[in-house]
Amino acid sequence: MKAVCWHGVEDMRVDRVPDPEIINPRDAIVRITSTAICGSDLHLYGGKVPTMKKGDIMGHEFMGVVEEVGRGVSNLKAGDRVVVPFGIACGNCWYCRHDLWSLCDNSNPNAAMLEGIAGYGGSALFGYSHMYGGYAGGQAEYVRVPFADVGPLKVDQGIDDDKLLFLTDILPTGYQAAEQCGIRPGDTVAVWGCGPVGQFAIQSALLLGAERVIAIDRFPDRIAMARDVSGAEVINYETDTDDLVETLKQKTGGRGPDHVIDAVGMEAHGHDVLSQLEKGKQYLKLQLDRATALRQAIQACGKGGTVSIPGVYAGFIDKFPMGQAFGKGLTFKMGQTNTQKYLRPLYEHIVRGDIDPSRIITHRCALDDAPGMYKTFQEKQDDCIKVVLKP
Ligand SMILES: [Zn+2]
Ligand SMILES: [Zn+2]
């Protein structure tokens, strides 16, 4: 089959590789009908994630049709259309049974490798390095799905792939970010980053009853989408303000937003001295994360508010305003998404027409075009926000 394979820093290739096969009784083989490139794939593309090997198959956002199931899978059969969550989870461990699927203790055969590098053992992810399990991803014609009896959601034939595909990651990720704010009627939520997760965090916050969402970015196309598609008030932090934290306070009666969402993560962009310092430290490998967005979010957040972090962080952060967070009585919520928990409720929102996730797609192309699209997406050329590949 054809698959998008990692060959090194900024070197993706479409290779011919062997078709996947059932290995365990709880496996399914899925023929991919749609797959997407995720912002977090760019960390792999840029060589930021250790334990990648030449030839690793990329992709953790995919859906398709079941071709074959192992003898332990009784809820799916060949021909079923399924959406597959990006995190792999067993469904039986303490974490899975408590709906904390992203913390599954059984799915990652290389958990010890992750523990050695990151200090904790975590669940596996599709197509996301060997420390996250070394599972082949879904930017391919076929994929092996482990724990297929508990992960994939069976979906109706009548709804377009483009509307359902983002159930695999970015829609639940944006939704979880908004849900964990504990939004009350009348609340204002500020969202840093208008990439795909930011867009769905905005839409979810409004769905959950926020009165206002203020979105922050610097790219005009993303800001326009946040305003016109997702329904946020917007701030371009490069052209609309000299002091973002102060502007946010002014817009919220001096109190600051009730909740803040950092949908930027570890590769934040910024102009201040601290941002430049962090860039240097990151270059010298003294610090993994650049935390400009997170710092601003903590500083802007109103007293008693929630700091929700769907953006990915990987290491230690210096100059973290802990005193301010403590003094304002902030609540922090973060982590990988418990996708399995949100699949069905969000699917029902899509069926009812409450959310149309396909509106964020800017590029559709064939699997063969993936290497070029990685570059376009990385460099944010051509107003690229979300790429869908059709094998
Ligand atoms: Zn993703
Ligand atoms: Zn588990």
Assess contact for 309 and 264: CB atoms under 8 A. no
Ligand 2 centroid–CA 214 distance in Å is 36
Residues with CB under 5 A from ligand 1 (ion): 38, 61, 169
d(CA 161, CA 391): 13
**Which ligand neighbours the alpha carbon of 100 most closely?**
2
Assess contact for 273 and 227: CB atoms under 8 A. no
pTM score, two decimals?
A: 0.95
Ligand 2 centroid–CA 169 distance in Å is 18
Ligand 2 centroid–CA 266 distance in Å is 27
Q: List the strands of the sheet with 188-192, edge to edge.
A: 233-236, 212-217, 188-192, 259-262, 306-309, 331-334
Helix axes 220-228, 196-207, angle to 10 degrees: 20
pLDDT in tens, the chain (391 residues): 999 999 999 999 999 999 999 999 999 999 999 999 999 999 999 998 999 999 999 999 999 999 999 999 999 999 999 999 999 999 999 999 999 999 999 999 999 999 998 898 889 999 999 999 999 999 999 999 999 999 999 999 899 999 999 999 999 999 999 999 999 999 999 999 999 999 999 999 999 999 999 999 999 999 999 999 999 999 999 999 999 999 999 999 999 999 999 999 877 777 777 777 777 777 776 666 778 999 999 999 999 999 999 998 888 888 889 999 999 999 999 999 999 999 999 999 999 999 999 999 999 999 999 999 999 999 989 999 999 999 9
Give me the residue label for tokens 């482990």: 146
**Which ligand neighbours the alpha carbon of 92 most closely?**
2
**Which ligand neighbours the alpha carbon of 88 most closely?**
2
**Which ligand neighbours the alpha carbon of 35 most closely?**
1
The pairs formed by 343-347 with CB atoms below 8 angstroms and a separation of 24 or more are: 343/83, 343/85, 343/153, 343/167, 343/172, 344/153, 346/167, 346/171, 346/172, 346/175, 347/83, 347/153, 347/155, 347/164, 347/167
Ligand 2 centroid–CA 127 distance in Å is 19
**Which ligand neighbours the alpha carbon of 336 most closely?**
1
